[in-house]
């Protein structure tokens, strides 16, 4: 059996503009949910430690560490959301033919 690669068979078929827009909207909704989930996680950690701090006050070093963890999670969330947004915009540009 002689197998040969058929380039046109596996080539990516062009998508219509409406399909590209729907994929972009779905991507934005999905990335928004991920952003909100990580943001809710950071807020939940802050709320839990604030509640514990009212019952049993933390040392200033412990409170500073908790604050740094919260800020780190938020920066991670912003960076990840930015990368995902860039990937979605790039895929949309490829779908409409603006990029090769």
pLDDT at 1: 52
Q: What is d(CA 36, CA 48) in angstroms, rounded to the nearest whole number?
A: 18
Q: What is d(CA 85, CA 88) in angstroms, rounded to the nearest whole number?
A: 5
Per-residue pLDDT of the chain (100 residues; tens, 9 = 90+): 555 555 555 556 667 888 888 988 998 999 899 889 988 988 898 899 889 888 988 888 888 888 898 889 889 988 988 998 898 889 888 888 777 7
Q: What is d(CA 100, CA 98) in angstroms, rounded to the nearest whole number?
A: 7
- C-alpha closest to that of 76 among 34, 27, 17: 34
pLDDT at 33: 92
Those residues with Cβ within 8 angstroms of residue 88's Cβ, 6 or more apart along the chain or in another chain = 24, 27, 28, 31
Q: Would the pTM of this model clear 0.85, i.e. be above it?
A: no
């Amino acid at each position: 059996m002689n197998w040969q690669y058929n380039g046109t068979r596996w080539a990516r078929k062009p998508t219509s503009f409406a399909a590209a827009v729907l994929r972009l909207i779905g991507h934005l909704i999905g990335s928004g949910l991920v952003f909100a989930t990580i943001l809710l996680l950071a807020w939940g950690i802050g709320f839990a430690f604030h509640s514990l701090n009212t019952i049993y006050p933390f040392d200033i070093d412990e409170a500073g560490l908790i604050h740094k963890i919260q800020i780190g999670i938020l920066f991670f969330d912003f960076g990840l959301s930015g990368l995902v947004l860039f990937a979605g915009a790039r895929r949309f540009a490829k779908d409409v033919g603006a990029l090769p």
